Amino acid sequence: MLGMKQYLIVTITRKGCTDCIVAASREAGAEGATIVYGRGTGIHEHKKIWGIPIEPEKELVLTIIPEEKLQSVRDAIVKAGELDKPGTGICFVVELKDLVGAVHQRT
């Protein structure tokens, strides 16, 4: 994969939002995504039931994308997940330096 810059878009959002995020990213040019389930401990997450703290469930969407599609896919994710609103989640991008196994993306 030398010479072909690849990026990882990491999206962390509340439970139940990943379907629309993945659909929007695919429409914008992504070939797929990996969804990971987790729990968050953000500063806005202090709900309790009978005095017991609830750990809010989160979903992570991991999307590997080539440089030429990066901005359009990232923008689609932000819009679909309403990530420009407080408390809805975050999205960040990491450049991948040594990618192995993405055979379908070879030119």
- The series of mean pLDDT values per 10 residues for the chain, 107 residues long, is 80 91 96 88 63 74 95 97 91 90 55
- Name the residue among 33, 57, 31, 37 with its Cα closest to residue 45: 57
Q: Which domains does the chain have, with CATH numbers?
A: 6-99 (3.30.70.120)
Name the pTM for this structure.
Answer: 0.81
Q: What is the pLDDT of residue 26?
A: 96
Q: What is the pLDDT of residue 14?
A: 86
DSSP state of 65: E
Q: What is the pLDDT of residue 53?
A: 59
Q: Cα dist. 99→45, 92, 95, 105 in Å?
A: 35, 18, 10, 11
Phi, psi of 93 (to 5 degrees): -120, 140
Q: What is the pLDDT of residue 94?
A: 96
* Alpha-carbon gap, residue 16 to 29, rounded angstroms: 22
